[in-house]
Structure 1
Amino acid sequence: MLRTKPIGVMASKGEGEEAGGGLRRTIGLFQLTMFGVGATIGSGIFVILGDAVPKAGPGVILSFIIAGITAALTALCYAELASTIPSSGSSYSFTYATMGEMVAYMIGWCLLLEYGISSSAIAVGWGQYLNELSFDILGVRMPAAIANPPGVNGGIFNLPAVILVLMCCILLLRGTKESAKVNTIMVVIKISVLVMFILIGLTAFNSSNLHPFMPMGMAGVGAAASSIFFSYIGIDTIATAGEEVKDPKRTLPLAILFSLLIVTAVYVLVAIIGVGTQPYTQFNGNEAGLVQILRRITGATWPGIILALGAVISIFSITLVTLYGQTRILYTMAKDGMLPAIFAKVDSHTHTPRKNTVIVGTLVAIAAALLPLDVLADLTSMGTLVAFAIVSSGVIILRRTRPDLPRGFKVPLYPLFPILSIFFCLYLIADLSSQTFTLFAVWLTFALIFYFAYSMKHSKLEKTE
C-alpha cells in the first residue's frame, strides 16, 4: 500500500514507449496548449453559467476569479511535477512516485470520476445549443424529451449527448495526431465566437445589473465557485498527454501555464459581460443562455446562430479532450496492473487504446443520457479538487524526499504557493453539497473494494518485489 514507483522509470523515456505497442510522441507545444484550452473553455461558459448565476448573482464573476486563482496555484504545481515525471497518468503517476500505491490508486479513481463525469456533464449541454441552432436555421426543435437532460424542461433521455460522445470516440479511434489537429481548429473557432459575444455584449452592458453584487452573500459565491471549478480540468488533461508530447520536460509546463492564462481571461470577460447585460434573475438554468442574450441585444438571429454554432463546436472539442484524458488515465493504471489489461492494449495501426476508448465512450454516453447537469458538475468538481490538492501536496513531498531530481520548472515562492493551493482546494470542497459527499464516498468505497480484491495482487510492483 505504501510502495512507490521509481521516478526514473516514468521520467526516462515514458512508460508507454516499449518497443512495438506504445504511444507515440506527436504533439507539440501549440497543439498541447490548444488541448488544455479545448478541455476548458466552454464547459464553464457555454454549459454551467446558467446554473451558476442563480447561486451567486453577479458575484459569479468573483466565483470565476476564485476558481481561477485556485487553478493557477495548482497549475504551477502541475507544471513542476509534469516537467519532472512526464507520464500519461497525470496526478495518478505523480502520486505513485511520492505517496505510494494506495493513495495513487485512490487518486486514479478520482481522475476517472473527474474525466468520465465531466465528459458527461459537458455533453449534457450540447442538445440545448443544437436545438437553438436548428430552430434559428430550420425553424424546428427536437422534442424536449430527447433534447434535454432528465429533470430539465421535460427531458427524459438526452439523445444528442449520446450522439456527441459516439462521434468523439470515433475520432479518437482514428489516432491522437488527427484528434489534436481537429481540436486545434475547433478551439480557434470557439475563441473567435466568444470574442464576438464580448464585443456585442459591450454595447448593452449596464452596470446597474451588477447590483446587488452578492445577493446570496459569500456563501453563494463559494457554492458557485465549487460548481464551476470543473471548468478548469484542462490543466490535468495536459498532463495526461505526457507520453505523447515532444520534449515533455519543456512542453508540458509551458502548455499548462499558457492555457490557464488564456482560459481565465476569457472566462472572466464573458462572465462580466453576461451578468452585465441582463439582471441575474433572468438566468434560469438554460444552458443556451448566451444565445438568448445575443438575440435580445441585437434583435436579430444571426449572432445567436453563430454563437450556437460555436457552442456546438466548442462542446464537441471539450468532450473530445476529456474522453482522451479518461482513456489515458485508464491506460496508465492498467499498465501498472491496477486495472484489467484490456485498458492497456494499444492498436498496432493507430497507436490508440481502442477497446479502452469503446468502453469509456459507452459508459460516458449512458451517464450523459440519464443524469442531470447539477449532479454531474458537482461530482466532477469533487474529483478534480481532491486530485489537485494531492498534486500540490506531492510537490512538497518530492522537494523533501528527492531534492536532487532534475526539474524543468519549479514552483515560485515555494512552499507558499503549494500550501495556498491546498487551502483553496479544501475551501471549495467544503462548499459542495452533502449529496455530492455521499456519492463521492460511495465511489471511493467501491474503489477500495476493487483495490483489495484485484489491484493489490496484480500490481506490477507486487511482481517485482
Structure 2
Amino acid sequence: MSTTQSLGARLLRRKPVDTLIAESGAAEEGTGQGHLRRSIGLGQLSAIGIGATVGTGIFFVLSTSVPEAGPAVVLSFVLAAVTAGLTALCYAEMASAIPVSGSSYSYAYATMGEVVAFGVGVCLLMEYGVSASAIAVSWGQYLNQFFDLAFGFTLPAAVTAPPGDGGYVNLPAVVLVALCVVLLVRGVSESAKVNAVMVAIKLAILVLFVVVGLTGFSSGNLTPFMPLGMAGVQVAASSIFFSFIGLDAVSTAGEEVRNPRRTMPLAIVISLVVVTLLYVAVAITAVGAQPWEQFEGQEAGLAQILQNVTGQSWPAIVFALGAIVSIFSITLVVIYGQTRILYAMGRDGMLPERFARLSPRTGTPVWNTWVVGAAVALLAAFFPLKLLADMTSLGTLVAFTVVSIGVIVLRRTRPDLERGFKVPLYPVVPLASVGFCIYLITGLHRDTFIAFGVSLAVAVLVYFGYSVKHSRLAQPQADVTKV
C-alpha cells in the first residue's frame, strides 16, 4: 500500500472510468478467462428487468401495503413508480456511460470514492439478498394455495413459515433457492432463456388476474379511498418500493450484454413501462374486487381474490401455479444480480479474490452463486416477510439515490465521456429523483433502520479490517486522482 496517502485520500480515491471499462472487456468484447461473456440481447435483458421486477412485490405485498394505505395503495404504487421512473432515467445514462457489472457500486466507485462505493455495495448486497429471501418466503404461500385447491391438502405451517409468521422454518423457500442456484451454476445464457419463458408466463397470469378480477370490481370498495391519509400512502409506497428492484438488476448485467451502450438504456426504459402499467392495473383490480380491510394477513392474496370473485377454483389454481413459476423467475434473477455485485467487489479487492474468479467452463462466478444461495436460503428460512421487504426497500432507495447523484458528478468530471443516453431536463430529473428517494426513506419503519445500522456497522468492520488494505487502488502505481 502506498504510505504517502492519508486515510482521507484512501477513503475518497476513485476508480477511473476507463479502468472500469477496460477491466470489463467492453472495448474488446473479451470472452476469455477473467471476463464475463457477452451473450445477452435486448429481449433477454428486458426480460431480466421485468422478471426481477414484476412479481417481486405484486404477488404478495398487497397483504401488507393495503392495510397501511387502504384503496389509496394505488397512489402508493404511482408514487413509487414516479420515483423509480426518475431514477431509471439516471440509471440509463450511467449504464450507457459505464457499461460494467456492479451496478450502482461501480458507478459510485467512479464518481464518489471508495468508501461510498463500499457502503453502496453493502446496500446492494442487502437489497438483493434480502429481497430474494422475501420473495422466496412467499413461494410457500402460493405452493400451499395450489396444493389446497388442486389436491385438498396443505403443507404444515411449521415447515412453510419462518419464526414470527407461525412456523419454525420455511423449507419451500430453501428448495426454491437451491433450484435457482443449480440453474445459475450452469451458465447465464441458459438462465436467461429459462427466465424469458417464465416472464412470459408471469405476464400472462397477471393479465388473467386483471381480466377476471375486473368482473368483480365494485366502486363501493374504493370508499373511503384514503382512510389513513397521505401518511399511509407514504408508508405503503416506502414498503413496496423494493418491487422496482429489477431496474437495478438490468445494470448488474453490464458486462454480459451485447452492444451495452444502446441495449441497457432501452432495456431499463422498457422494463419500467411494462412494470408500471401492470402494477397499477393489478392494484386497481385488487382493491376494487375486495374490501381493503380483508387484505391484512391474507396469504396468496391474488389467487384468493380470483376464487372469491368467480366462486370457482380453476382461475385461482391457474394463477397459483403461474405464481409458483413466476416467483421462481424473480428469485433467479435477483440471486444472479447479487453474484455479479460480489464479482465486481472481488475484482476491486474490496472482498477476497475468490469472489472474482470465474468458472472456465461456464464463464460465471460459481463460488459467488453458492455463497449467495446459502445466505438467501438462511434468511428466507428463518425471517418474517415484513422485515425483509422493508430492509430491501431501504437498500434499494439508498442505491438509487447514489446513482442519481452520480449522474451529476460524472457530468461535471467527465463531460467528454461517451454516453448512449442522456437524462432529459438535466439537472432537474436527478435532483428530483434524490428528493423522492429521501421522501420514501423517511416513511420506513424504525426496525428497518436498526437492521440497516447493524448492517453498516458490519460493513465498517469489513472495510477497515480488509478492504482498505487490499483495494487494487492501494497499489502505488494506481492513479487515484483521474476520474
TM over 0.5: yes
Q: CA deviation at 1:382?
A: 0.5
Asked if 1:415 corresponds to 2:423, the answer is no
Change (3 A) 1:331 1:102: same
Structure 2 counterparts to residues 32-71 of structure 1, below 5 A: 32-71=45-84
Q: CA deviation at 1:12?
A: 4.5
Asked if 1:112 corresponds to 2:122, the answer is no
**Structure 2 equivalent of residue 257 of structure 1:** 269
Q: Structure 1 regions of 5+ residues with no counterpart?
A: none
Q: Output the CA distance in 2 between the equivalents of 1:346 and 1:213.
A: 53
Please say if residues 158 and 368 of structure 1, whose CA atoms lie closer than 8 Å, have aligned partners that are also in contact.
Answer: yes
Asked if 1:341 corresponds to 2:353, the answer is yes
The 3-state SS of whatever aligns with 1:203 is: helix
Aligned residue identity for 1:270:
V
Q: Output the CA distance in 1 between the equivalents of 2:69 and 2:381.
A: 28
Q: Output the CA distance in 1 between the equivalents of 2:299 and 2:406.
A: 37
Q: CA deviation at 1:97?
A: 0.5
Please say if residues 31 and 38 of structure 2, whose CA atoms lie closer than 8 Å, have aligned partners that are also in contact.
Answer: no
Asked if 1:387 corresponds to 2:399, the answer is yes
Q: Output the CA distance in 2 between the equivalents of 1:442 and 1:284.
A: 29
Structure 2 counterparts to residues 212-361 of structure 1, below 5 A: 212-361=224-373
The 3-state SS of whatever aligns with 1:45 is: coil
Q: Output the CA distance in 1 between the equivalents of 2:113 and 2:185.
A: 33
Q: Output the CA distance in 1 between the equivalents of 2:334 and 2:417.
A: 30
1:61-95 per-position Cα deviation (integer Å, ceiling 9, x unaligned): 00000000000000000000000001111100001
**Structure 2 equivalent of residue 22 of structure 1:** 35
**Alignment partner of 2:105 out of 92, 95, 99:** 92
Q: CA deviation at 1:285?
A: 2.4
1:352-387 per-position Cα deviation (integer Å, ceiling 9, x unaligned): 111111111001100000000110000000100001
The 3-state SS of whatever aligns with 2:216 is: coil
The 3-state SS of whatever aligns with 2:175 is: helix
**Alignment partner of 1:368 out of 380, 398, 402:** 380
**Alignment partner of 2:20 out of 10, 22, 26:** 10
Q: CA deviation at 1:201?
A: 1.0
Q: CA deviation at 1:102?
A: 0.9
The 3-state SS of whatever aligns with 1:47 is: coil
Change (3 A) 1:15 1:3: farther
**Deviation >3 Å, runs of 4+:** 15-19
Structure 2 counterparts to residues 157-196 of structure 1, below 5 A: 157-196=169-208
Please say if residues 33 and 358 of structure 2, whose CA atoms lie closer than 8 Å, have aligned partners that are also in contact.
Answer: no
Asked if 1:438 corresponds to 2:450, the answer is yes
Asked if 1:450 corresponds to 2:450, the answer is no
Q: Output the CA distance in 2 between the equivalents of 1:430 and 1:195.
A: 33
The 3-state SS of whatever aligns with 1:61 is: helix
1:35-81 per-position Cα deviation (integer Å, ceiling 9, x unaligned): 00000111221021111111111011000000000000000000000
Asked if 1:150 corresponds to 2:200, the answer is no
Please say if residues 49 and 287 of structure 1, whose CA atoms lie closer than 8 Å, have aligned partners that are also in contact.
Answer: no
Q: Output the CA distance in 1 between the equivalents of 2:234 and 2:339.
A: 31
The 3-state SS of whatever aligns with 2:24 is: coil
Please say if residues 51 and 287 of structure 1, whose CA atoms lie closer than 8 Å, have aligned partners that are also in contact.
Answer: no
Q: CA deviation at 1:406?
A: 0.9
Q: Output the CA distance in 1 between the equivalents of 2:421 and 2:249.
A: 18
Asked if 1:72 corresponds to 2:82, the answer is no
Q: CA deviation at 1:20?
A: 2.1
Percent identity reads 60
Structure 2 counterparts to residues 189-204 of structure 1, below 5 A: 189-204=201-216
- How many residue pairs get aligned? The number is 464
TM-score for both structures, normalised by structure 2: 0.95
Q: Output the CA distance in 2 between the equivalents of 1:408 and 1:14.
A: 17
**Structure 2 equivalent of residue 378 of structure 1:** 390
Please say if residues 14 and 111 of structure 2, whose CA atoms lie closer than 8 Å, have aligned partners that are also in contact.
Answer: yes
Q: Output the CA distance in 2 between the equivalents of 1:56 and 1:289.
A: 17
Please say if residues 58 and 275 of structure 1, whose CA atoms lie closer than 8 Å, have aligned partners that are also in contact.
Answer: yes
Q: Output the CA distance in 2 between the equivalents of 1:43 and 1:286.
A: 17
1:310-348 per-position Cα deviation (integer Å, ceiling 9, x unaligned): 110111000000000000000000000000112111110
Q: Output the CA distance in 2 between the equivalents of 1:451 and 1:411.
A: 33
Q: Output the CA distance in 1 between the equivalents of 2:122 and 2:156.
A: 36
Change (3 A) 1:335 1:13: closer
Aligned residue identity for 2:196:
T
Q: CA deviation at 1:131?
A: 0.4
**Alignment partner of 1:399 out of 411, 419, 427:** 411
Please say if residues 209 and 319 of structure 2, whose CA atoms lie closer than 8 Å, have aligned partners that are also in contact.
Answer: yes
The 3-state SS of whatever aligns with 1:444 is: helix
Q: Output the CA distance in 2 between the equivalents of 1:13 and 1:407.
A: 18
Q: CA deviation at 1:147?
A: 1.4
TM-score for both structures, normalised by structure 1: 0.98
Please say if residues 44 and 267 of structure 1, whose CA atoms lie closer than 8 Å, have aligned partners that are also in contact.
Answer: no
Q: Structure 2 regions of 5+ residues with no counterpart?
A: 1-10, 479-483
Q: Output the CA distance in 1 between the equivalents of 2:31 and 2:50.
A: 30
Q: CA deviation at 1:15?
A: 5.3
